[in-house]
Amino acid sequence: MDKIPTLKDIRPFVSTRNACKLCAPLGASVALKGIEGCVPVIHGSQGCATYIRRYMISHYKEPVDIASSNFSEESTIFGGEENLKIALENVIGQYKPKAVGIATTCLSETIGEDVEMQLMQLRDLAKAKGWPELFTVSTPSYQGTHMDGFNATVLGVVKHFSSKTEPVERVNLFPGFVSPADIRQLKEIMVDYGIQATVVPDYSDALDNPVWDQYYRIPKGGTRLVDLKTMGGALASVELGAFTAVRQGGGEESSSADWLEDKFEVKKYQSVLPIGISHTDDFFDSLTKITGKEIPDKYLMQRGRLLDSYADGHKYIFGKKAVVYGEEDLVLALCSFLDEIGVEVVIAASGADSGRLMEQLKIHCPVHGENINVLSDSDFEQIGEMSKLINPDFLIGNSKGNYIATNLNIPLVRVGFPIHDRIGGQRVNHLGYLGTQELFDRIANAMIEYKQNNSPIGYKYM
Amino acid sequence: MERLIKERITQIHTVGESANELNCDTKSTAGSVSQRACVFCGSRVVLYPIADALHLIHGPIGCAAYTWDIRGALSSGPQLHRLSFSTDLREKDVVFGGEPKLYKALTELIEAYKPKAAFIYSTCIVGVIGDDVEAIARRVSKEQEIQVLPVMSEGFKGTKKDGYKAACDALSMLVGTDDTYQAPEFSINILGDFNLAGELWMLQDYYKRIGVNIITCLTGDGRVDEIRKAHKASLNVVQCSGSMMHLAKEMKEKYGIPYKKVSYFGIEDMAEALYDVATFFKNAEMLDKARQLVSKEVNDLLPALAPFREKLQGKKAAIYVGGAFKAISLVKALRLIGMETAVVGSQTGNKDDYDLLKKLCDEGTIMVDDSNPNELSEFVKEKGVDLFIGGVKERPIAYKLGIGFCDHNHERKEALAGFEGMLNFAKEVNASVNSPVWKFFKR
């Protein structure tokens, strides 16, 4: 059996070879799974919904029901309105949802479907039949990546549900595309600060359910619709991530927190995903500013233990060369964390192309930022070919880069989405002092294990 | 069974109870969360195992991303099929047309990877934006001097089955293009095996032992140059008939090659497959060898299966797989290990398949075409099954309810075909059904 072919020379390609990104409707589906009682409908061919379900199921190991409007040749020529209506009737009849979020696809966008308009026209029927909340978000897969779909959907949800309300003692939290375990931890932090938080999206339960004694057509959990409606009156919004802005009609960009600030003057606090001491400190500082409360002791202890482990483990990772890939926000946060612990990031790659990754990396990686090879609009073959030249010590990213690590005979530290070749991807902690601790231990141990496996010296004691 | 979709009632049948025939071969109902995929998916899974061809997916990135290295289809040599190539169309390509990008992508990839042939898969929007994929294929074919085969697999143009047909259409352009080859006596093609977890290699060994030569397998461990010679075979042996029957029929018409439908799952069907071929060649020695082979394998296998049969006796299973012909074999294979089938269904079965299933299954068995998670979860609960056989999309339905699961889809990592496969199957079923973890679950 041969190896998967690799090219001897590096050359530019017009085509994408082993994509390091997914399409926008996938991001939309993940976000919609985090809204209470919401069923996603993908407006396009049956395959879009099924592929995305399969992709998500392989990672979350949970039932992921996503309906499709199931375009046919007829609907492609004459429009998908009728199909959408049938799909809504069937989804609502079967699932009894509290909301239905409709994400468009390359197909429905290309034939010029105006779903917003179609929903307007269905309004009377919907009212008569007592249908739940219906909203749509534009997610053609020829535009950006799954992250654009995710962010556009969060913004779509915020716009649909929020209005000017009385001030409420709540804080809006936009965690970004993180793991269910991360969201659980963020919610715990909010509780410990005494903050009533509206976390959007909150798929901490729906995409990481306990075992069931009966089958739930819609899993429990998700951001409550009543809470979504009060977002305009919240004390503040905390947005995690530096690449959350969505391109609006007219070309201007706005994230969910931006929009709430512009529209309802909800103060926005933004930080890089809290991975590493620096950005986790920033995140806790925001919460302290909002509430006037000091950081709870529990987290000071976590921080202290994390620092203690930095002392225990720093030598094993110092000067190691890392290849980091994935979504821009995850890449930025990981690089910043690695920079903080003495690892040299040699390649930072993403399938996305915001045009801002390099600038952000330079700001947030003060030690080695200048030396990072930044690959935007990249793919796994390009990452693999570059890695071969540089000889890194380890890779950190989702499971799709595993073949590169295998070819180079170096470890892959699996983080983010998807983790298709292991169990527990939904339970990986990345954020906060706790998540950083998990990542730090895993990275240090990967380096120690590598050395141990390739060394004649016994490693019975350290 | 409340809250089922009205339109779906005709696609559900209870053996011995329902008056109506099972309705199949229809498009999925909008909003039903079908377990099926699309036309593109059908084409992609069929052609994927051809290991020395370039597979370029023309469209936005999703279709390529979700089908990268998607099957456990092994190759004994080249691994080019395990890379995912896409034209990754962007907004400007959609507005101004994707042809220039397709031309550049195809040319650069052929130059870099030097494949034996190239398949271009059309996805949903390609037809809508009016790209002439066939013209680009002809042009590049001429310039690069390799065959470039367009696969007309726009997702919305039917069901997964139409994708199988589009794949067969592309394959039939390849079959017959090498006329210099002289096939030895008793040569066959295997159609519809995809060499999942190396299953084809076991079959090849069986056929070799009875004196049969295999020219090519479509498409498991497939090679372009072998497929070109496929028209020299005396017989096409067709498994997974849903995907490959179209090609078998076409080769019969075009080259006069007869075909036989077989299955390699379970002892009975595996033995039958070998006897059928020997009978076809009217060769006493071959038939004799086949009998010896089967008796040796069965003699080895049965004692090995016995302990599993003891542990699995009387347990109930639900089956929901892609093709109904596979479901038929699974019902038989389950019986061999003492298990009964309480629910059986498929994404793409046809009337003949379901008629056969009806005869085979016990009264009260639920049969279903193109089902969805809601129905499947109701059925398995109603029947109180101990095992669910399906693919990745069915797995969480089983696990959430505390039911054992066996992956019998194209991503499986264990070889389940042939005599050895039967033992693997029994082991895997036992490992799930009899795991002690279920005692903590309330069913």
Q: What would the pLDDT profile of B45-57 be if each residue is shown by its tens digit?
A: 999 999 999 999 9
- pLDDT tens per residue across span A113-159: 999 999 999 989 999 999 999 999 999 999 999 999 999 999 999 99
Query: In the prediction, which pLDDT does B350 show?
Result: 87
How many C-beta atoms lie closer than 10 Å to residue B126's C-beta? 27
- Looking at the domain assignment, is residue B252 inside a domain? yes
Does the beta-carbon distance from B5 to A53 stay under 8 Å? Answer: no
- Looking at the domain assignment, is residue A289 inside a domain? no
Residues of the domain holding A300 = 296-453
Provide the shortest C-alpha distance from residue B79 to chain A (in Å).
5
pLDDT over 80 (residue B75)? yes
How many C-beta atoms lie closer than 10 Å to residue A120's C-beta? 10
Q: Are residues B215 and B132 in the same domain?
A: no
Q: Are residues A256 and A147 in the same domain?
A: yes
Does the beta-carbon distance from B402 to A52 stay under 8 Å? Answer: no
Q: Are residues B167 and B195 in the same domain?
A: no
Report the percentage of chain B scoring pLDDT > 90.
Answer: 77
Q: What is the mean pLDDT of residues B3-13?
A: 81
**B108 touching A, CB under 8 A?**
yes
Q: Are residues B116 and B196 in the same domain?
A: no
Q: Which amino acid belongs to residue A222?
A: G
Report the percentage of chain A scoring pLDDT > 70.
Answer: 100
Cα separation, A50 vs B101, whole angstroms: 27
Q: Are residues B113 and B212 in the same domain?
A: no
Number of domains in chain A: 2
Q: Are residues B133 and B54 in the same domain?
A: yes
Least confident among A327-336, A369-378, B402-411, B429-438: B402-411
Q: What are the φ/ψ torsions at residue A68 (nearest 5 degrees)?
A: -130, 150
Contact yes or no for B46/B69 (Cβ under 8 A): no
DSSP E strand stretches across B324-365: 340-346
Q: Are residues B135 and B230 in the same domain?
A: no
Q: Are residues A261 and A374 in the same domain?
A: no
**A6 touching B, CB under 8 A?**
no
Query: In the prediction, which pLDDT does A243 show?
Result: 97
Tokens standing for A160? 């649909």
Q: Which amino acid belongs to residue B127?
A: G
- Looking at the domain assignment, is residue A279 inside a domain? no
- Looking at the domain assignment, is residue B14 inside a domain? no
pLDDT over 60 (residue B1)? no
Q: What is the mean pLDDT of residues A315-338?
A: 98
Query: In the prediction, which pLDDT does B113 show?
Result: 97
**B152 touching A, CB under 8 A?**
no
- State chain A's mean pLDDT as an integer: 95
- Looking at the domain assignment, is residue B21 inside a domain? no
Does the beta-carbon distance from A106 to B101 stay under 8 Å? Answer: no
Domain stop point among A236, A271, A306: A271
Q: Are residues A70 and A200 in the same domain?
A: yes
- Please tell me which residue, B37 or B155, carries the higher pLDDT value: B155
- pLDDT tens per residue across span B191-212: 999 999 999 999 999 999 999 9
Q: What is the mean pLDDT of residues B105-128?
A: 96
Q: Are residues B217 and B337 in the same domain?
A: no
- Looking at the domain assignment, is residue B350 inside a domain? yes
DSSP E strand stretches across B179-255: 187-193, 213-219, 235-238
Q: Is the pTM of this model over 0.90?
A: yes
Contacts of A73 in chain B (CB under 8 A): 156-158
Residue A336 pLDDT level (bands cut at 50, 70, 90): very high
CATH number of the domain where residue A236 is located = 3.40.50.1980
- Looking at the domain assignment, is residue A16 inside a domain? no
Q: Are residues A252 and A378 in the same domain?
A: no
Cα separation, A7 vs B116, whole angstroms: 17
Does the beta-carbon distance from B61 to A19 stay under 8 Å? Answer: yes
Q: Of the candidates A64, A86, A215, which has its C-beta nearest B381's C-beta?
A: A215
- Looking at the domain assignment, is residue A462 inside a domain? no
Run of H or E including B119: strand B117-122
Q: What is the mean pLDDT of residues B58-68?
A: 97
Query: In the prediction, which pLDDT does A5 show?
Result: 86
Q: B interface mutation test: which of A15, A65, A122, A220 has the most B CBs within 10 A?
A: A15
Q: Are residues A137 and A55 in the same domain?
A: yes
Q: Are residues A231 and A327 in the same domain?
A: no
Domain stop point among A205, A237, A271: A271
Q: Are residues B204 and B278 in the same domain?
A: yes
Does the beta-carbon distance from B124 to A84 stay under 8 Å? Answer: no
- Least Cα distance to B88 among A141, A50, A256, A74 occurs for A141
Q: Are residues B107 and B66 in the same domain?
A: yes
Q: Are residues B376 and B355 in the same domain?
A: yes
Residue B2 pLDDT level (bands cut at 50, 70, 90): low
Query: In the prediction, which pLDDT does B338 show?
Result: 96
Number of domains in chain B: 3
Query: In the prediction, which pLDDT does B443 show?
Result: 64
Cα separation, A179 vs A415, whole angstroms: 9
Domain stop point among B174, B195, B222: B174
- Please tell me which residue, B288 or B351, carries the higher pLDDT value: B288
Nearest 5 degrees, angle CA B182-CA B187-CA B190? 120
Q: Are residues A213 and A311 in the same domain?
A: no
- Give me the sign of the Cα torsion angle A387, A391, A392, A395: positive
Least confident among A12-21, A278-287, B309-318, B409-418: B409-418
- Least Cα distance to A31 among A202, A284, A210, A205 occurs for A202
Contacts of A110 in chain B (CB under 8 A): 94, 124-125, 128-129
Q: Are residues B229 and B270 in the same domain?
A: yes
**A87 touching B, CB under 8 A?**
yes
Query: In the prediction, which pLDDT does A456 show?
Result: 85
Does the beta-carbon distance from B29 to A64 stay under 8 Å? Answer: no
Does the beta-carbon distance from A44 to B75 stay under 8 Å? Answer: no
Tokens standing for A247? 């391109």
Q: What is the mean pLDDT of residues A338-367?
A: 97
pLDDT over 80 (residue A454)? yes
Q: What are the φ/ψ torsions at residue A302 (nearest 5 degrees)?
A: -60, -45
Q: Of the candidates A23, A68, A111, which has its C-beta nearest B65's C-beta?
A: A23
Percent of residues in chain A assigned helix, strand, coil, to nearest 5? 45, 15, 40
Q: Of the candidates B3, B68, B93, which has its C-beta nearest A94's C-beta?
A: B3
Q: Are residues B68 and B116 in the same domain?
A: yes
Query: In the prediction, which pLDDT does B117 show?
Result: 98
**A86 touching B, CB under 8 A?**
yes
Query: In the prediction, which pLDDT does B414 show?
Result: 81
Q: Of the candidates B40, B86, B128, which has its C-beta nearest A16's C-beta?
A: B86
Domain stop point among A271, A305, A321: A271
Does the beta-carbon distance from B40 to A83 stay under 8 Å? Answer: no
pLDDT over 80 (residue A262)? yes
Query: In the prediction, which pLDDT does B3 show?
Result: 59
pLDDT over 80 (residue A249)? no
Query: In the prediction, which pLDDT does B392 show?
Result: 86
Query: In the prediction, which pLDDT does A394 show?
Result: 98
Tokens standing for B271? 């033995």
- Looking at the domain assignment, is residue B17 inside a domain? no
**A251 touching B, CB under 8 A?**
no
pLDDT over 70 (residue B78)? yes
Does the beta-carbon distance from B66 to A217 stay under 8 Å? Answer: no
Residues of the domain holding B147 = 39-174
pLDDT over 80 (residue B240)? no
- Looking at the domain assignment, is residue A142 inside a domain? yes
Q: Of the candidates B61, B77, B395, which has its C-beta nearest A21's C-beta?
A: B61
Residue A443 pLDDT level (bands cut at 50, 70, 90): very high
**A117 touching B, CB under 8 A?**
no
Question: What ipTM does this complex have?
Answer: 0.95
Q: Are residues A107 and A44 in the same domain?
A: yes
Contacts of B41 in chain A (CB under 8 A): 47, 50-51
Does the beta-carbon distance from A14 to B66 stay under 8 Å? Answer: no
**A106 touching B, CB under 8 A?**
yes
Q: Are residues A247 and A324 in the same domain?
A: no
- State chain B's mean pLDDT as an integer: 93
- Looking at the domain assignment, is residue A186 inside a domain? yes
Rounded to whole angstroms, the maximal C-alpha distance in chain B is 66
Contacts of A49 in chain B (CB under 8 A): 33
- Looking at the domain assignment, is residue B140 inside a domain? yes
By C-alpha distance, the chain A residue nearest B437 is A211
Contact yes or no for A87/B372 (Cβ under 8 A): no
Contact yes or no for B62/A26 (Cβ under 8 A): yes
Domain stop point among B174, B205, B221: B174
Q: Are residues A242 and A307 in the same domain?
A: no
CB pairs under 8 A between A and B: 256
Parallel/antiparallel/unpaired status of strands A16-17 and B85-86:
antiparallel
- Looking at the domain assignment, is residue A459 inside a domain? no
Q: Are residues A254 and A343 in the same domain?
A: no
Cα separation, A400 vs B395, whole angstroms: 21
Contacts of A54 in chain B (CB under 8 A): 66, 392-393
- Looking at the domain assignment, is residue A281 inside a domain? no
Contacts of A68 in chain B (CB under 8 A): 28, 30-31, 33-34
CATH number of the domain where residue B366 is located = 3.40.50.1980
Q: Are residues A163 and A94 in the same domain?
A: yes
By C-alpha distance, the chain A residue nearest B159 is A46
